[in-house]
Structure 1
Amino acid sequence: MSKTSVELLAKDLNHAGGVYCPNPLADMKLWNSHPKVYLDVAHTGQAKCPYCGTVYQLKDGEHFHGH
């Protein structure tokens, strides 16, 4: 499985401050990956997928201003 790190901009996060994995930003296709999971990135600035180990993190200097 993947051990990828994906750098995100604040605009890449959804309204709640998260992303889903698998994610096209990690060059993943839904049909050849694991079940879709929600990862909360805004809370700590990064989140790791429990299935594939991909780490999604906010780029330095990016800040999420959610709803």
Structure 2
Amino acid sequence: MSTPPIELKASELNPQGGVFCPNPKADMKLWNSHPKVYLDVAHTGEAKCPYCGTIYRLKAGETVSHAH
């Protein structure tokens, strides 16, 4: 049984365009989860955690602007 992807707004990403897993949006308790890992969502619009398999996806229509 797989869990549905966690849909994220661009405003929920950190300044580098990613999120950390475990993440409260994934309904995980931080004290009993895997080590914290950074996932780059902005680059491809989706990232999968190598530990738990949770998929974080940018919501349809959301865009990430990159400041240079």
Q: Would you say same fold, with TM above 0.5? A: yes
Match of 2:12 in 1: 12
CA distance in 1, matches of 2:8, 2:42: 10
Report SS of the residue matched to 1:56: strand
Residue 3 of structure 1 contacts residue 52 of structure 1 at CA under 8 Å; is this kept in 2?
A: no
Match of 1:31 in 2: 31
Match of 2:56 in 1: 56
When normalised by structure 2's length, the TM-score is 0.90
Structure with more contact order per residue of length (Cα contacts < 8 Å, sep ≥ 6): 1
- RMSD of the alignment, in Å? 1.4
When normalised by structure 1's length, the TM-score is 0.92
Q: Return structure 1 stretches of 4+ with deviation > 2 angstroms.
A: none
Report SS of the residue matched to 2:57: strand
The residue identity in structure 2 corresponding to 1:50 is P
Unaligned runs of 5+ in 1: none
Identity value in percent: 70
How many residue pairs get aligned? The number is: 66
Q: CA deviation at 1:54?
A: 0.1
Pick the structure with greater CA Rg.
Answer: 2
